[in-house]
Amino acid sequence: MKTSIIGYPRVGSLRELKFASEKYFKGEITASELHRTGAELRAAHWKIQQENRIDYIPSNDFSFYDGLLDTACLLNIVPQRYQALGLSPLETYFAMARGYQGEQGDVKALAMKKWFNTNYHYMVPEIDDSASIRLTGTKLFDEFLEAKQQNIVTKPVLIGAFTLLKLARYTGAKQAEDFVSEAAEAYVNVLKKLNELGAEWIQLDEPQLVTDLSKEDLVLFSKLYARILPAKGNVKVLVQTYFGDVRDGYRELQGLPFDGIGIDFVEGKKSLDLVRQYGFADDKVLFAGVVNGKNIWKNKYKNTLALIGELQGLAKQLVIGSSCSLLHVPYSLKHESKLSADNKSHFSFAEEKLREFAELKAMLDYADPYATETYIHNETLFNGSRYTVNEAVQARTSALTDADFTRLPAFAEREAVQKAKFNLPPLPTTTIGSFPQTADVRANRFSFKKGAVSEEQYKQFNFDKIAECVALQEEIGLDVLVHGEYERNDMVEYFGESLDGFIFTEYAWVQSYGTRCVKPPIVWGDISRSKPMTVEYSAYAKSLTDKPVKGMLTGPVTILNWSFPREDISLKTSALQIALAIREEVLDLEANRIEIIQIDEAALREKLPLRKSDWQAEYLSWAIPAFRLVHSGVQADTQIHTHMCYSQFSDIIRDIDAMDADVITFEASRSDLAIIDAINECGFQTEVGPGVYDIHSPRIPSVDELKQGLNRMLDKIDVAKLWVNPDCGLKTRGVNETWASLRHLVQAAKEVRATL
Ligand code: GLN
Ligand code: ZN
């Protein structure tokens, strides 16, 4: 059995690339030093794959920032404003990635978007009418030759023409269809060059194929490859898909002269059925993704061997691999000194997954793989107990009834009760929760973690910060106050650390974008809350003021979406467990005079399945109820807020309303306000606070522009429903601009109120 890797993480097991890049950006190291770090990482990654006998080792999966940006640069998709800077190729590349402000000019970065259903972000290639797509770069070939010098004949990897054209943004009149011949020609030249260099395979990544495809999409795909594939020569072409199944294009793929088709059997729910139903061409190699490339749990060989067994009967030529690039998992367990041996025995990060391929391969060499020691060891692990069970939690989730998901009285009645109780002015003003996490706030937390200050000192510092923050909010005249979230490193990690059932790593970083990595918590067992997590700080803030103070929590769906989930129970079950734990916190806050509680669901929108037909059944049908479970137990006069980032939820607007919060605030200032039209049209009952200014820049908005923003919202939204707040993320801003901007916001609200 041969094995293939789609892509390997790039930033280094200790984030070497991140640190080198950041030094380079600050001018502390030279371009050649940065290149040396890149070369060292590539060599190390190739070597470890070779040691694990991987047959198809990728190259060009390395990137200084992002693979789609690399593809754009390889194919001359560099907008004029970046070319005009007259910088070196590397500097031009970073200008597109991060923006440039200096002697050569001032340009913003390309837009960034989430890569399918992952937390990785890609740079959106921008194509205008004057663009000329053609092969001008050499990175793909350079890295192939670099590996060849190390005696490794790699499989170069490139984003395919279809996905490239579909993900690009068109700023002129021309659209994807207008670039078919140019783009195809560019890929033809890539193939020609690889023929010259003696490559055996190329992997063209076409993840766009796992989304809902229209007839036009399929025509575009076929047109591109009908032109590209005749240039194959001696190079074999693998079209690689991942993150789902290719139900819309399976037959087109079989019909085109690809030499290999990469199919994901982990996330692709219909993949196996497709192969069963339509067969798999004898002259093609099936590259089957059988090991989860996105999660950190060990592979269960029993299931994988059964799957491989069936696939061997269906496809004449079979290669096994990961379900997607290993970019989405951390590097290695080897640096984790604090995890227990028991924990570690269940995990498999990128390096350990390579070992799994070596093991699968070795097992498959035996007539009876099930008799091997490797197999028996794996079965023992999965049959053993994992100390994850909390019977009380399981009893509670299984005893839930419809009533637990229904808040009473209904919205309209609550709204009236709350209006009478809080007696807020029209257009009430508030913020989304956090206030600037200045250096002293972070230093205090680090000192506490290191044991340099006592818990008492640590808390006292936070209490003082809260007092200062509450006093300032009162002084500038905000209507609903917050405590400022000074105690939180991160909105998910904070809760994960306080809940039982999560575990944390030291080095399990995963690239989010460019040099930014995240370290998601791991859902290890049943989740429960053993003690209040936020009550002390919120209650302290409330003790300082007569104004309402919003308690601040993260919702179950967001906590789950930003963690590595369990695979032994469903996402739904985990979400309900987390929901029950957060529900206890909500009720404790309510019992401690916190009359308004915000439950952030920042990441609810982002895990919407790639296919529309899966939205309800796979996701919303449990995500929305999980949120309702969190707040259904409060009194009518306790006001529940929620918050969402990226306001692109027009298409699930009714589901958002069905969360049955009393108020939703969302990030809106950079959107085209399309969401406000959607709210207007659908009879949205929840009160709304669309962010009225962008906090991603230190700019202080003027009172006039804030008034204009509010008036524009008032054109579409009933004044009785509208709240006034900035976008989320004040924790990343400086102190001065934050307070100056908020003063303007309160002033603008007052002036608009006067005109009502
Ligand atoms: N309450 C959080 C904050 O204000 C919300 C963060 C977010 O929207 N991602 O920071
Ligand atoms: Zn947000």
What residue segments make up the domains of the chain, in order of their start?
Answer: 411-753
The strand ranges marked E within 179-255 are: 201-205, 236-240
Q: Which of 431, 434, 469 to mutate to test the pocket of ligand 1 (most atoms within 8 A of CB)?
A: 434
Overall CATH class of domain 411-753:
alpha beta
Ligand nearest to the CA of 431: 1
Name, in order, each residue with C-beta under 8 angstroms of 334's C-beta and a sequence gap of 6 or more: 13, 351
Ligand 2 midpoint to CA 170 (Å) = 28
Report CA 330 to chain centroid distance, whole Å.
14
Q: Are the C-beta atoms of residues 744 and 702 closer than 8 Å to each other?
A: yes
Burial level of 310, CB count in 10 A (0-12/13-18/19+)?
middle
Closest CA to 667 of 442, 433, 498, 447: 433
For ligand 1, what atom is nearest to the CA of residue 598? 1
For ligand 1, what atom is nearest to the CA of residue 729? 10
Calpha distance 112→513 (Å, rounded): 9
Q: Which of 487, 488, 643, 649 to mutate to test the pocket of ligand 1 (most atoms within 8 A of CB)?
A: 643
Name, in order, each residue with C-beta under 8 angstroms of 103's C-beta and a sequence gap of 6 or more: none
Calpha distance 240→253 (Å, rounded): 11
For ligand 1, what atom is nearest to the CA of residue 488? 10
Ligand nearest to the CA of 561: 1
Q: Which of 432, 495, 537 to mutate to test the pocket of ligand 1 (most atoms within 8 A of CB)?
A: 432
Calpha distance 525→18 (Å, rounded): 32
Ligand nearest to the CA of 492: 1
Ligand 2 midpoint to CA 671 (Å) = 13
CA pseudo-torsion sign 462, 464, 470, 475: negative
Check pocket membership of 433 for ligand 1, CB cut-off 6 A.
yes
Positions of the chain with pLDDT lower than 70, given as ranges: 670-672
Closest CA to 472 of 743, 665, 700, 702: 743
Q: Which two tokens stand for residue 250?
A: 């399976």
Ligand nearest to the CA of 432: 1
Q: What is the distance in angstroms between the CA of the first residue and the CA of the last residue of the chain?
A: 74
Check pocket membership of 643 for ligand 1, CB cut-off 6 A.
yes
Q: Are the C-beta atoms of residues 642 and 555 closer than 8 Å to each other?
A: yes
For ligand 1, what atom is nearest to the CA of residue 434? 4
Ligand 1 midpoint to CA 645 (Å) = 8
Calpha distance 731→486 (Å, rounded): 9
Identity at 391, one-letter amino acid code: E
Radius of gyration of the chain (CA): 27
**Residue 559: C-alpha distances to residues 564, 607, 623 (Å):** 10, 12, 12
Residue with tokens 């984003």: 159
List, for residues 536-581, the tens digit of each pLDDT value: 999 999 999 999 999 999 999 999 999 999 999 999 999 999 999 9
Cis peptide leading into 426, omega within 30 of 0?
A: no
Binding site for L-methionine, residues? 432-434, 485, 600
Q: Is 482 helix (H, G, I), strand (E, B) or coil?
A: coil
Calpha distance 683→297 (Å, rounded): 44
Tell me what pLDDT residue 755 has. Answer: 97
Calpha distance 663→727 (Å, rounded): 15
Closest CA to 330 of 8, 4, 5: 8
Give, using CA atoms, the residue closest to atom 1 of ligand 1. 433
Ligand 2 midpoint to CA 424 (Å) = 24
For ligand 1, what atom is nearest to the CA of residue 432? 4
Identity at 2, one-letter amino acid code: K
**Residue 129: C-alpha distances to residues 85, 164, 198, 661, 702 (Å):** 20, 16, 35, 46, 36
Ligand 1 midpoint to CA 691 (Å) = 12
Q: Which two tokens stand for residue 728?
A: 């989320």
Q: Which of 437, 486, 491 to mutate to test the pocket of ligand 1 (most atoms within 8 A of CB)?
A: 491
Calpha distance 435→695 (Å, rounded): 12
Whether 35 is a known active-site residue: answer no
Q: Which of 335, 631, 696, 744 is catalytic?
A: 696
Q: Is 384 helix (H, G, I), strand (E, B) or coil?
A: coil
Ligand 1 midpoint to CA 481 (Å) = 14
Calpha distance 694→690 (Å, rounded): 11
Check pocket membership of 599 for ligand 1, CB cut-off 6 A.
no
Q: Which two tokens stand for residue 325?
A: 């690039």
- Around 96, how many Cα atoms within 13 Å sit in the side-chain half-sphere? 32
Closest CA to 736 of 300, 358, 436: 436
Q: Which two tokens stand for residue 280?
A: 């798999």
Calpha distance 701→721 (Å, rounded): 23
Binding site for 5-methyltetrahydropteroyltri-L-glutamate, residues? 15-18, 114, 516-517, 562, 606
Ligand 1 midpoint to CA 599 (Å) = 10
Ligand 2 midpoint to CA 487 (Å) = 18
Q: Is 433 helix (H, G, I), strand (E, B) or coil?
A: coil
Binding site, residues? 15-18, 114, 432-434, 485, 516-517, 562, 600, 606, 643, 645, 667, 728
Calpha distance 187→624 (Å, rounded): 44
Ligand 2 midpoint to CA 663 (Å) = 14
Check pocket membership of 729 for ligand 1, CB cut-off 6 A.
yes
Name, in order, each residue with C-beta under 8 angstroms of 377's C-beta and a sequence gap of 6 or more: none
Check pocket membership of 642 for ligand 1, CB cut-off 6 A.
no
Binding site for Zn(2+), residues? 643, 645, 667, 728
Check pocket membership of 291 for ligand 1, CB cut-off 6 A.
no
Give the phi and the psi of residue 739 in degrees, each rounded to 5: -70, -35
Tell me what pLDDT residue 475 has. Answer: 98
> b/e per residue, 446-456, with b = 16+ CB within 10 A?
eebeeeebeee
Tell me what pLDDT residue 300 has. Answer: 98
Check pocket membership of 127 for ligand 1, CB cut-off 6 A.
no
Report CA 301 to chain centroid distance, whole Å.
28
List, for residues 645-697, the tens digit of each pLDDT value: 877 788 899 999 999 999 999 988 766 677 888 899 999 999 999 999 988 77
Q: Are the C-beta atoms of residues 310 and 284 closer than 8 Å to each other?
A: no
Calpha distance 280→135 (Å, rounded): 33
Check pocket membership of 558 for ligand 1, CB cut-off 6 A.
no
Identity at 436, one-letter amino acid code: P
